[in-house]
Amino acid sequence: QKEVEQDPGPLSVPEGAIVSLNCTYSNSAFQYFMWYRQYSRKGPELLMYTYSSGNKEDGRFTAQVDKSSKYISLFIRDSQPSDSATYLCATKSFMDSSYKLIFGSGTRLLVRP
C-alpha cells in the first residue's frame, strides 16, 4: 500500500464548478501537508501548505485536513479552464528527521469551458 494515495483521474468538470481533490494517507505521523499544481511539461508549483486539521483558505482554494480519517482535500471554487492541471498532495512525517516529502501520484483535472 502506498503511503499517500490519489485517484489519477482525469476529473472532468464544467467551468464554474466546485472541484474536490482528495488524498488519503496511511501514517498517523504525517502532520505537514501540501498541495502542488503541475501544468503539463512544467515543474510542480506550491499552492498551499497546512500543519493541522481544519481548513485553510487562499482565494478560490481551500485545503482541508481530517486527521482522524487520514484524509486531505483541496477544494477549488469557481473553477476555470486555467485550473486544468495535475494536482499533487504531499506530506511529511514528524518521525522522519530527514527533509524528504512523500508525494501522491497526482490527480489530473480538466475544466471544460
User: What residue ranges bind another protein (CB under 8 A)?
Assistant: 32, 34, 36, 41-46, 49, 51, 88, 90, 92, 98-101, 103-106
Map grid coordinates 501544468 to a residue: 39
Residues contacting residue 4 through CB under 8 Å, at least 6 positions apart: 23, 24, 25, 26, 89, 90, 91, 102, 103, 104
CB of 17 to another protein, least distance (A): 26
Taking the least distance from each CB to another protein, the nearer of 39 and 78 is: 39
Taking the least distance from each CB to another protein, the nearer of 7 and 17 is: 7
CB of 90 to another protein, least distance (A): 8
The number of helix segments (H) and strand segments (E) in the chain equals 0, 11
